[in-house]
Amino acid sequence: MANDPLSMWNDGPARTAILDFVARVTQNGGRDYVPPAERIATFDNDGTLWCEQPLQVQVFFALDRLQALAAKDPTMKDRQPYKAFLEHDLKTIHELGKKAVFEVAFATHAGGTEDEFDPAARAWLASARHPKLGRLFTQCVYQPQLELLDYLRANGFKTFIVSGGGIDLMRAFAEEVYGIPPEQVVGSSVKTRFELRRDRGVLVKLAELGSFDDREVKPQNIQLHIGRRPILAFGNSDGDLAMLRYVKSGDGPRLALLLHHDDAEREFAYDRDFNLSPLAEALDRAAEYGITVVGMTRDWKAVFPAPNSAGP
């Protein structure tokens, strides 16, 4: 890799911006040198590290969970928003918007413990496949991003996820797939209750949202979880804009990157029309805000890993 870093990235302004930035912050004695402890990089997950179309993976997980719940309680089939989920009614789901959809998704796990959630999520991820791409969801990750994460870590960066996705679903695969351990995953979360069950301390998931990690909540959660302003951030929607501007407006060298899904052939093409995570302001004002746009078509040699080369 040292001889050919970012080999999955085409030569162009995005790849050059990344290579230049990393060279500058790692050059000992250089004007822009940043000590390793401060080389914090934060990545959105849905749409930035893996595919979020036609629905975020979180929602597919909830769909399967709802099927199981509806088998026990058939009245769910007649009640919204469950009805829309159970009928895979994308139009109605999209109309709800991201936060409402995610709240339903999170609520499907209420009452269970964190100890129960993790193996259930791992079991689901081990076999659940993307409805259009056919591959495991854990293989719907972007190969150039896996390479970028590795490249940053090889250069002393600590890589974090800061995503609207449920924190514990992401933790169930982030270490194996992205090389990012649970303590470096920040996401949306529900409140929990600590209980002793037969002398075993457990955390019970409640139906109440703790934090919806989107938009201005991202910098808030970065402060809460990381406590240091990152020097690099990567997102793909207006939900990442506050994080990108927070990172970009710190002192010293900073790099903010925005993935534009313009690749209908190899993945999907969308931006402001995707109601579950629109991209409009960040794209329109990227130049003004100093954000580097990554065009999937132009900048990536490939999108997904070769079959069976990644994932658990």
Our finding on whether 183 is near its own copies (CB under 8 A) is: yes
The only residue of 30, 97, 119, 181 in contact with its own copies, by rule CB under 8 A: 181
- Rounded to 5°, the CA angle 54-63-118 comes to 105
> Cα separation of 309 and 128, whole Å?
17
Provide the 10 A C-beta neighbour count for residue 149: 22
Give the residue with the Cβ less far from its own copies, 240 or 299.
240
Compute the least distance from the CB of residue 309 to its own copies, in Å: 22
* Residues 234-273 interacting with its own copies (rule: CB under 8 A): 242, 245-246, 248-249
> Cα separation of 190 and 166, whole Å?
8
Residue type (1 letter), 279? L
Compute the least distance from the CB of residue 201 to its own copies, in Å: 4
Our finding on whether 210 is near its own copies (CB under 8 A) is: yes
Give the residue with the Cβ less far from its own copies, 87 or 183.
183
Closest CA to 311 of 185, 136, 166: 136
Our finding on whether 199 is near its own copies (CB under 8 A) is: yes
**Residues facing residue 41 across a β-bridge:** 159, 232
Compute the least distance from the CB of residue 224 to its own copies, in Å: 6
Our finding on whether 203 is near its own copies (CB under 8 A) is: yes
CB 42 within 8 A of CB 48: no
Give the residue with the Cβ less far from its own copies, 139 or 188.
188
Q: What are phi and psi of 228, to 5 degrees?
A: -145, 140
Give the residue with the Cβ less far from its own copies, 29 or 201.
201
* Residues 39-58 interacting with its own copies (rule: CB under 8 A): 40
Q: What are the distances in angstroms from CA 68 to CA 108, 233, 270, 297?
A: 10, 38, 32, 39
Compute the least distance from the CB of residue 262 to its own copies, in Å: 27
> Cα separation of 129 and 150, whole Å?
25
- What x/- string results for residues 141 through 170 when contact with its own copies is judged by CB under 8 A? -----------------x-x------xx--
Closest CA to 256 of 23, 48, 50, 9: 48
Peptide bond just before 54 cis, omega within 30 deg: yes
The only residue of 223, 272, 273, 307 in contact with its own copies, by rule CB under 8 A: 223
- What x/- string results for residues 11 through 40 when contact with its own copies is judged by CB under 8 A? --------------------------x--x
Segment near its own copies (CB under 8 A); pick from 99-107, 145-153, 215-223, 277-285: 215-223
> Cα separation of 256 and 18, whole Å?
10
In the complex, the residues that contact its own copies under the rule CB under 8 A are 37, 40, 114, 158, 160, 167-168, 171, 175, 181-185, 189, 191-194, 196, 199-201, 203, 210, 216-217, 219-220, 223-228, 242, 245-246, 248-249
